[in-house]
Amino acid sequence: MHIRDMGARALGAGPRAVDLTVTLLVQAAVTMPFVVPRAPELPDATWTAYGLTTLSVLPLAARRRAPVAVLFAVLAAGGLYKFTVDGPGQPLPYTGLVAFYTVAELSSSPKRLGIAVLTALTVLCSVGLDSNDMRELLFSLFVFAAAYAFGRLTVTRKAYLRAVEDRARQLELTRRIEAEQAAARERARIAREMHDILSHAVSLMIVQAEAGPVAVRTAPERAEAAFDAISETGRDAMAQLRRILGVLREYEDGPGAPREPQPVLDELPALVERVRGSGLEISYEVTGPARPLGLAVEATVYRIVQEALTNVVKHAAAGTVRIQLDHGPKALTVTVTDDGSGSAGGSGMGLIGIGERAAAHGGTARTGPGPDGRGFRVRVTVPRTETGRRTGTGVGS
């Protein structure tokens, strides 16, 4: 809710209703001298005098639409009252003050200054013709100056409120954009996770299923191993999918419910063994002393290797694959090289996902032909961070 809306609701009405309320309040104020008991020596409170007093109040209902005209009408009605009837006086020139305040608030600068000079002259003439008392003159000038100051302060206050509203709207817009961007990044991350898990599992299952009938006829013991590999791959894929969907169901098990961790580098040998079941010869080498990377980086490296192996199984028609992890002092370099047809990139979506994962951690990904132009190679470099630690759970990268 905007501040201006809150103010309008607090008043409970629009500008016209506010002006009408102000008019009625001023009418009540100027009515008091006519209803309060008066000393015998004071002029009588006649209906004519009261009618002229009311006539000076009525223009205030239109004070926002024509502030200068309303001020002139109020001064003219006051002059008419002063020179035509001998009725009760007022302790303060209520109508003139409200009209002058409105001019100070709503009129342009040249018009404001001109009206201020004219009002000051009117006050001088009125006091001079009435009591010619210096204290009354100073008091009158002071109250009109105060009305002018309050009018200008109202303008400043409204400008400040508009600035606050604009800033609040801008902050709200910024928060909305940031939330939408965060949601888009999360959707892209989940899409990558789903792609990697399903593509990897389905590719291995297809390879094993296609090899199963042949193995049944030639080597029944291999057929049994192939079907076991299909079952294991399917169960692993289901477990990983449940892990992702479990995080999305934030409150299903109550706040703070434990979640399974993302895959880490220690799980790569198990991944390699599962892919070996498809018939690929895979070598897995680790060089350099292992250093902490952080859960998110380790999950990213795992998914990159998984995607690279999936592409080899689906597209490369390779016989051997070499996986190398080089723990350097400033970065971890992952290289997956096959001896296949050189088309391990497939349709390119998997390679795009590998590049996005590496870039998310400030890393780089290079893909292309292997050594001597044979096969296909994926090389990813992910820099280390000083704060890399194996802490936390949940879906990372």
| Whether residue 394 has pLDDT greater than 70 | no
CA distances from 394 to 245, 306, 357 (A): 11, 19, 17
Q: Which residues of 359-395 are buried (b: 16+ CB within 10 A; e: fewer)?
A: ebbebebebeebeeeebbbbbbbbebeeebeeeeeeb
The pLDDT of 351-363, averaged and rounded, is 86
Q: Report angle CA 223, 228, 231 to the nearest 5 degrees.
A: 130
Q: How many domains does the chain have?
A: 2
Q: What pLDDT shows up at residue 121?
A: 86
- Please report whether residue 157 resides in a domain: no
Q: Is the pLDDT of residue 364 over 70?
A: yes
Q: Which of 202, 334, 339 is nearest to 281 (CA)?
A: 339
Is the per-residue pLDDT at 382 higher than 90?
A: yes
Determine, yes or no, domain membership for 176.
Answer: no
Taking residues 136-164, report their average pLDDT: 88
Neighbours of 293 (CB within 10 A): 23
Q: Looking at the structure, do residues 12 and 113 belong to the same domain, yes or no?
A: yes
Q: Is 124 in the same domain as 270?
A: no
- Residue 151 counted as domain residue: no
For residue 294, what are the CA distances in angstroms to 259, 262, 339, 382? 17, 11, 32, 12
Query: How would residue 202 be classed by pLDDT, with cut points 50, 70 and 90?
Result: confident
**Model confidence pLDDT, tens digit, residues 330-354:** 899 999 999 888 766 555 667 888 8
- Mean pLDDT lowest among 97-101, 107-111, 200-204: 200-204
The verdict on 198 and 121 lying in the same domain is no
347 and 263 housed in the same domain: yes
Angle of helix 109-130 versus helix 67-84 axis, rounded to 10: 10
Residues 236 and 324 in one domain: yes
pLDDT 10s digits, 217-271: 666 666 666 677 777 777 777 776 766 666 555 544 444 444 445 788 888 998 8
User: Are 358 and 263 found together in one domain?
Assistant: yes
Is 147 contained in some domain? no
Q: Is the residue at 242 inside a domain?
A: yes
Same domain, 192 and 117: no
Distance between CA 316 and CA 295 in Å, rounded? 30
Where a domain ends, among 93, 111, 132? 132
**CA pair distance 121, 116, nearest whole angstrom:** 9
- Which helix (H) or strand (E) segment is 50 a member of? helix 47-57
The pLDDT value recorded for residue 378 is 93
Q: Which residue has the tokens 């100070």?
A: 104
Q: Which residues contact 236 (CB under 8 A, 6 or more apart)?
A: 201, 274
> Residue 356 carries which side chain, given as an amino acid letter?
E
Cβ atoms of 294 and 389 closer than 8 Å: yes
Residue 153 lies in a domain: no
Check whether residue 196 and residue 325 sit in a common domain.
Answer: yes
Mean pLDDT of the chain: 79
State yes or no: pLDDT of 207 exceeds 80.
no
Residues of the chain above pLDDT 70, percent = 81
Does 391 map to a domain?
Answer: no
- Which region, left, alpha or beta, applies to residue 294 given φ > 0 means left and ψ of -120 to 50 means alpha? left
The whole domain housing 258 covers: 187-383
What average pLDDT does the segment 313-327 reach? 88
To the nearest whole percent, how much of the chain has pLDDT over 90? Answer: 13
Are 200 and 298 members of one domain?
Answer: yes
The 10s digit of each residue's pLDDT in 44-92 is 778 888 888 888 889 998 888 888 898 888 888 888 887 787 778 777 8
| CATH (domain of 231) | 3.30.565.10
Give me the pLDDT at residue 245, please: 64
Q: What is the pLDDT of residue 37?
A: 79
The answer to the question of residue 182 being in a domain is: no
pLDDT of residue 140: 81
Between 374 and 38, the more confident residue is 374
Q: What is the pLDDT of residue 134?
A: 84
pLDDT for 251 equals 41
Closest CA to 322 of 292, 287, 285: 285
Indicate the residue among 111, 132, 153 that finishes a domain. 132
Comparison of pLDDT for 239 and 326, the residue scoring more: 326
Look at residues 90, 109, 132 and tell me which one is the last residue of a structural domain: 132
Q: Is the pLDDT of residue 392 over 70?
A: no
On whether both 217 and 350 belong to a single domain, the answer is yes
Whether residue 217 sits in one domain with residue 96? no
- Clarify whether residues 65 and 203 are in a common domain: no
User: Is residue 288 predicted with pLDDT exceeding 60?
Assistant: yes
